[in-house]
Structure 1
Amino acid sequence: MNVLVVDDSRTMRDLVTRELCKEGYDVETAEDGVDALKKVSGFQPKVVITDLNMPRMDGLQLTKALRARPETRYIPIIFLTTESGGELRQAAREAGATGWIVKPFDGPKLCAAVRRVSS
């Protein structure tokens, strides 16, 4: 199953990719929302994991853009971020987010969340 990981931190992209690959997922990465929108059509992810704060296009903007496209409207989107505020979580839900995980993350819990939203 294809998972798109969007984060401006190469280290974080590598950590998430390593955890997902151990569980057998095919992973593509993007450094921000602009990069993610370029890659989403060719890769066709079943789940998107995105950071909130990124340059050029943040996670909220990315979520709104994905929800606006017919081909990505229903893809589950999990935020993986250092932010834990209720207002930001609500904004993410309103934008169309499926889940929210606070960094630092637990690998097995992240994989369980991906399984849960993709089934």
Structure 2
Amino acid sequence: MTRVASETKSAAAFRTIGEVAAATGIAPHILRYWEGRFPQLRPVTRAGKRRYYRPEDVALVERIDRLLNREGYTVKGVQQLLDAERRRSARPATTLRDVRDLLATALAQDDRAARE
């Protein structure tokens, strides 16, 4: 009895390129092409250059597919969108200037409350 590997794997398990292709309907050669075009898509490679996609890689593949094939983005448009998101998430949540401004505002509010 032969079982499909993805049926027996947990949701957190790594997937081969064949399993991802079967699950998403995207051909393996397209997945390999996307790896070259989207630096965010980097599956783990093991001996023999076998690719193993993490759950977050599979989610990114599905998102790229949706943007390209359903929402009408171009490859360049998706690249720009993903790059902009990466830059936003890489930026520190608060800078020293932000902390200083928040502290000054809080102190000013305390002074006003003390005078009232």
Fold in common (TM above 0.5): no
Q: Which has the higher contact order (CA 8 A, sep 6+)?
A: 1
Bigger share in helix: 2
Larger radius of gyration: 2
TM-score class, shorter = under 0.3
Pick the structure with more strand per residue: 1
